[in-house]
Amino acid sequence: MVPIRVAGTGSYVPEKILTNFDLEKSLDTSDEWIVKRTGIRERRVAAPDQAASDLALPACRQAMEAAGVSDRDLDYIIMATVTPDMCCPSGANWLQAKLDAPQAISFDVTAACSGFCFVLDVAMRYMQAGAGKTMLVVASEVMTRVQDWTDRANCILWGDGAGAVVLKAEEGLPQIIETYIGTDGANGQNLLMPGGGSKTTPISYESVDKKLHTLRLIEAAASVRVAVKHFALSVETVLGRRGLKPQDVDLYIPHQANIRMLQSLAKRLDVNFEEKFFITIEKYGNISSASSAIALDEAVRSGRIKPGDLVCVTVFGGGLTWGATLIQF
């Protein structure tokens, strides 16, 4: 197998902070209620002129600088997002132009909150097939643009940001040593955005009035149970392929969905939550596919990840989608 090195990481979050106390002014909610149920205290909000590719650009520049590569070194640019700049062209295409990398092939991957592990898996397989030697993968989301801000159970969860990784087909550490992804389309109806696709009629006053173009979270309690199950399945699968146990992992970088959910995952894996899980949900909320990408970069730059550490990125999202990536630092 062609070795795949994580040559550099990067991340970016917008300057504007939306706190729980800000939400108290417009919603029937409280900081105490939100923190107790989700672990979220604040989230970032993109500026009016910032789209997904705009958030992705500084994250990518940071990752490229860390990797020591230029725009013209890139063979592929793959973006995970459910909130691209527009439906066509892809967010990755907009990013390609901003990076001035016309030689790079660019496209999006849509896998909801699992997107980061999906783009890592896609890029790795392309590289192992000989399609390229240097790939830029990025997860970028502007989730605050697809919210019904009167839906207090859902809108409090989301924020905006981007995380990026440069992968190189070469020996050396950190190295991706295993990936796993999975989907279940038959049971993906609990998190969806009904409007804007070919299933519905074209955008109209009626579809907007019905709020069909905003994100809907249905049966949240059931979703948590399913998520914990598939989080654990993903971890056990990548570790099992290497003959490892959950306790062998030095740090887990989970999708930042809900603090209770992640505590339940740690319990199921029989590992210490405080010691083994890297958490950013308190300050960023849920940034869909970008959550785990941002958390990975922050864990690297803060020194939380040390040489020799075994790190597991694990994700779950709407669709249903799930996955994990095992990285040896």
266, 235 Cβ separation under 8 angstroms: no
Q: Closest Cα to residue 289, out of 125, 55, 128, 87?
A: 55
Q: Choose, from 154, 258, 286, 312, the residue flagged as catalytic.
A: 286
Token readout for 156 is 């409090």
User: Sheet of 175-183: strands edge to edge?
Assistant: 105-109, 76-80, 134-142, 160-168, 5-12, 175-183, 321-328, 310-317, 251-254
Token readout for 299 is 């864990």
Q: Closest Cα to residue 294, out of 113, 119, 163?
A: 163
Token readout for 194 is 């009904």
- Residue 286: active-site member: yes
3-state secondary structure of 138: strand
CA distance 156 to 144: 10
Q: Which residue do the tokens 């210490």 mark?
A: 272
- Chain centre to alpha carbon of residue 239: 21
Question: How many CB atoms lie under 10 A from the CB of residue 8?
Answer: 23
Token readout for 165 is 């990784």
- Residue 113: active-site member: yes
Q: Choose, from 60, 113, 117, 155, the residue flagged as catalytic.
A: 113
Which residues, at least 6 apart from 244, have a Cβ–Cβ distance to it below 8 Å?
Answer: 310
Q: Choose, from 154, 255, 258, 312, the residue flagged as catalytic.
A: 255
Which residues form the catalytic set?
113, 255, 286
